[in-house]
Amino acid sequence: MDTLKTKDYEVFEAIQKEMKRQSEGIELIASENYVSKSVLEAMGTVLTNKYSEGYPGKRYYEGNIIIDEIENLAIERAKSLFSAEHVNIQPLSGSPANAAVYLATLNPGDKVLGLSLDHGGHLSHGHPVNFSGILFDFIKYEVEKNNYLIDMDKVEEIALKEKPKMIIAGFSAYSRALDWKRFKNIATKIDAITFADISHIAGLIAGKQIENPVPLFDIVSTTTHKTLRGPRGAIIMCKQKYAQSIDKAVFPGMQGGPHDHINAAKAVAFKEALQPEFVNYANQVIVNAKKLCNELQNYGFNIISGGTDNHLMLIDLSNKNITGKKATHILELGGISTNMNMIPYDKRSPMDPSGLRIGTPAVTTRGMKEKEMVVIARWIKDIIDNPNNTDIQKKVKSEVKELCSVYKVPGI
């Protein structure tokens, strides 16, 4: 970065400050992670100079022989990683990938069944303010009030009554395993398309800790960051019968030329995820999440659904007399990054909800294990139970910095 330092010191200085923030703080945002130095290096290459609309062997520009090699390599690695029949690695991010799936399979106004956002779903699964909810007739399934779990009998009841063209299985704030086979069986009864959005758990699936829906479902999308530890981007996997329509929907339907430097970084991340040590990583993410969850419960925190089967947990802060927004603010003052989140049946607004969503992918990447989860839980308790005590916040921030000096961020 020496050239950047001399040519544009303002940007260089901002990057340095962000590197310091990441290095000295605890990252508990469930959708964030750290990429390896190799992934970072692949992103910062001359591949960003190339324009390559189209697909390998079928480009609208010349000079794409090497780009084709890289894209084909990424495709084959993704196929191996997820046992996929067809993979499109060009989507620029998660929501555009989902938009391409809808474009390939639905007509405006078609009926789709998905998990409600305030019950753990995602904006692109039919929220009224999102393009998905504006263009398509989304009906929702929800979690139960008594246990905050998805009742698959009720999902089937809704599906048989409404007969949606597509059923979506996926989430952004649900801490339990999904019953992929039951979703598929329900869809088969009404001849619906099965679409899984595994953006949050792709790394846990690649790491063989969570059942893989790719061989079962018609179409599966995922971001390549989060638990997969790749660059910010996405891919779409599908059965061969949907391959042509998916490819056409991505290009020219949704976007122009792909980001070739990011595709190279995806290839690097896929190779990393194919290594035996990634299985150990994925396992430790879940072990850490369960430990952190248990420790917080011991301090009186109310965990939605009572626990976790994956990398995240959703905390109802109502009994702590603090809102999600306030909690995230004071935790950040203590060097701990989290995000506020709606809880199911929340009586508060999305901009100041009752919940806090936390996860363990990033701290696990740094090498932290169960004993560090015990310490992190205590820090969270100390800060939230004493929301106006700035001395505690400063003390925790100092202790966080000390711990982070031992567990380094990759690539920094």
Can 62 be counted among the known catalytic residues? no
Torsion, Cα of 300, 304, 306, 312 (10° steps): -100
| The one catalytic residue among 71, 118, 197, 295 | 197
DSSP annotation of 173 reads S
- Extract the tokens encoding 81: 């990683």
Can 6 be counted among the known catalytic residues? no
Determine which helix (DSSP H) or strand (DSSP E) holds 331, and give its type and residue range. Answer: helix 324-333
- Residue 370 buriedness (CB in 10 A; 0-12 / 13-18 / 19+): middle
| The one catalytic residue among 53, 68, 179, 332 | 53
| The one catalytic residue among 77, 176, 226, 366 | 226
> Between the CA of residue 376 and those of 21, 29, 81, 299, 383, what are the distances in Å?
17, 13, 32, 12, 11
| The one catalytic residue among 50, 140, 165, 232 | 232
Can 232 be counted among the known catalytic residues? yes
Can 53 be counted among the known catalytic residues? yes
In 3-state terms, what secondary structure has residue 402?
helix
| The one catalytic residue among 105, 223, 308, 360 | 223
Can 51 be counted among the known catalytic residues? yes
Determine which helix (DSSP H) or strand (DSSP E) holds 10, and give its type and residue range. Answer: helix 9-24
- Total Cβ atoms within 10 A of residue 173: 26
| Alpha-carbon dihedral sign for residues 361, 364, 369, 374 | negative
Residue for token pair 């905390």: 315
Alpha-carbon span 153 to 111, nearest angstrom = 20
User: What are 141's strand-pairing partners?
Assistant: 115
DSSP annotation of 274 reads T
- Extract the tokens encoding 282: 């994925």
Catalytic residues: 51, 53, 197, 223, 226, 232
